[in-house]
Structure 1
């Protein structure tokens, strides 16, 4: 089967597509943002380099920086449009299915073409806030309600988003909820995992932006600093200056880090007693799933009930229902620190859950069956 993947180049996409490497299918990738050839995905046929209609090698960045209005004018007149480039790729490849990742990035720009070739099967993978957040913005909702009726197959990262999709016009086949990047390499993780008694790190995702809400977590941490004398608090993945300033304003052993490599994150998670992720919008948080795989006890926000599909409150983690309420977050952290038996039981439960539901081997097997169903 010929599968034409449509996506920007990011970690989730790379991980998902890797599941198809040995599938026996012919895999093509239309780089929707034309970010350039990816050596990491050299095993598939890549459609890149389609956009630049002027100054293809040198000078574009200089003009864009020095003369942005002139650059926009030249780009609009001379560059190749997404629709033109995608239609050309579609006709040349003649795929059995087009698989788009993220609606506003990889569905909306090609909708006109997909409507023209209505017999071509179209699969859409919803990620994170793709439907949950953007349905509340009129212009995005308009796109959602145009795209979903045309989509034949839907994959989500949480069951919540299947319901949202139906609400906004999806009438096709739901193929299931899977981690956005596929499963996790548990064999590699198992080599690093510490026992619960060895764990002295409280790990906090540091996003403070449109959806990330790290500051309420840090406000909660400050109010319980007397309970943290035996722990190191590590905040990772932030660019926010307010988050960085916390390490200078408290007497807590707190380390605020910027962007880490994936390997560094796994190392921290494998020795963290507690992992805390907090946001006002998400699908099934991939970072939380990795924390579960690594044995860290998850305390996670629960927008729209998505997290509750995996985490049962006070069984294998704790749910934050109000991401802005630092007192609620304080209560959850305190409960975790005061109930070591819960943490021990959750560790065992989550390790079994990871093996049965989050393993790369298990998820890939299910994903390949999905593509086979479409082709049959």
Structure 2
């Protein structure tokens, strides 16, 4: 199969999906909306600037790289607003470039990974090709993936975002979403319900060779290429967990992790304000925040709240490092106001973390309150703090959650199984279009 992905080639979520197809010996092409150099066996990589993606992203912590005009904006919300109101204006020009690439490659399918702006770009290209009196059948079948907040945050944010969201959904021949809620919302935004759709984790699922719960150190399987996934799974299932089902780390620390980083829809203000409330009851608790190193707002909150001894901000962690950190933690916090199915939430659940998340329709597809996690008002620091304290004090609830979440990951989110479903779905889509 010859597949052209339209995606942000820097995104771990997109790359995790694309990797599977490339490793299955398909001819895989990437039209990336940001400059990238992915370490994957791709046939070709092109850069298509859209919504100011020529602008460089914010430099890493400690870097002296000068920020671009866009990323130097005062806040994340302002940067997002600039893209929402002006970004769609860049789509027609980039759509022409995409159609040239499609004419050269002649792929069997175009897969746009998320609606803004990759799905909008591919949808605009398809509609432009059709408007030039070209048969719609000559444009490859278009599959669009929906991610997290495509409809709840981005789509209604400006008149042009609404317009191009509807165009993308009308042009799509099939949809992939990471929650059932977004399939229903897609139909309200113009997707033809008679066309095929599937619900699978956004990045293809959880690699259980990396993301697994704490087990006895002597029983951890060697990560050898000679071992099959079945062999590894059997070994892990036969091992006894550390202090029933990983309730305490090897160091005995009590750790809460917030892996969401700084995004406009994540209430980190609530998270940091909840920390002193937790420390009043449980002063030994530590909090770790991957990807927040160098964030001036986080540093300001830490100083203002006097919690510097209890909070660690780290740079982005490699997947293996992140998995190890999840296994050290007892509780994962995800205080978001918009979401589909966050990959970090599933990864933490796979590693034995007890999840506490914003009470959203999409999250309820994965978390049943008081059974395998807790849901809170993401704007209420007292409610979040009480949930953290309850989870840390209730070993029985955490044991129950670990058992339930291992079942959920194995049946609904395991990478190999999910991607096998994606392949079957794609082939079926091609037969119908």
Q: What TM-score do the two structures reach when normalised by structure 1?
A: 0.85
Paired residue for 1:221?
275
**Aligned counterparts of 1:127 and 1:50: Cα–Cα separation in 2:** 20
In structure 2, the gaps of 5 or more residues are: 50-64, 70-91, 131-135, 216-241
Q: Residues 154-193 of structure 1: matches in 2 within 5 Å?
A: 154-171=175-192, 173-190=195-212
TM-superposed CA distance for 1:81, in Å, is: 4.3
Mapping for residues 1-376 of structure 1, pairs under 5 Å: 1-9=1-9, 10-33=11-34, 35-36=35-36, 38-41=37-40, 43-48=41-46, 81-115=93-127, 116-117=129-130, 118-119=136-137, 120=139, 121-139=141-159, 140-171=161-192, 173-190=195-212, 195-199=245-249, 200-205=254-259, 207-238=261-292, 239-248=294-303, 249-250=305-306, 253-262=309-318, 263-303=320-360, 305-320=361-376, 322-376=377-431
User: Aligned partners of 2:48 and 2:330: how far apart in 1?
Assistant: 48
SS in 1 for 2:273: helix
Any idea what SS the aligned residue of 2:265 has? coil
- The alignment's C-alpha RMSD in Å is 2.5
After superposition, the C-alpha distances for 1:123-143 in whole angstroms (9 at most, x for unaligned) are 100112111212321331111
**Secondary structure of 2:403's aligned partner:** helix
1:299, distance to aligned residue in structure 2 (A)? 0.3
Q: Please report how far the alpha carbon of residue 170 of structure 1 lies from its aligned counterpart in structure 2 after TM superposition.
A: 0.4
Aligned length: 347
CA 1:240–1:209: 2 relative to 1, 3 Å: farther
Distance 1:49 1:146, change over 3 A: closer
CA contact (8 A) 1:100 1:123 kept: yes
Cα distance change, pair 192–343 in 1 and its aligned pair in 2 (3 A): closer
288-297 vs 114-123, which moves further: 114-123
Q: Once the 2 structures are TM-superposed, how far is the Cα of residue 113 of structure 1 from its aligned partner?
A: 2.5
Quickly say closer, same or farther: Cα 1:227–1:289, change in 2 above 3 A: same
Query: Which digits, 9 at most, give the CA deviation of each residue in 1:299-324, with x for residues without a partner?
Result: 01133x1100000001000112x211
Q: Please give the per-residue CA displacement for 1:54-79, whole angstroms capped at 9, x wherever unaligned.
A: xxxxxxx99x99xxxxxxxxxxxxxx
Deviations 1:347-371 (A, max 9, x none): 1111222222222221121111112
Partner Cα distance (1:125, 1:250) in 2: 42
- Local SS of the residue matching 2:21: coil
- Superimposed CA distance per residue, residues 56-113 of structure 1 (whole angstroms, 9 cap, x where no aligned partner): xxxxx99x99xxxxxxxxxxxxxx9423321111112222211111222212234343
Return closer, same or farther for 1:122/1:91 CA change in 2, 3 Å cut-off.
same
Name the SS for the 1:100 alignment partner: strand
Deviation of 1:253 (Å): 4.3
Following TM superposition, by how much is the alpha carbon of 1:212 offset from its aligned partner in structure 2, in angstroms? 1.4
Q: CA deviation at 1:246?
A: 4.2
Unmatched 5+ stretches in structure 1: 52-60, 66-79
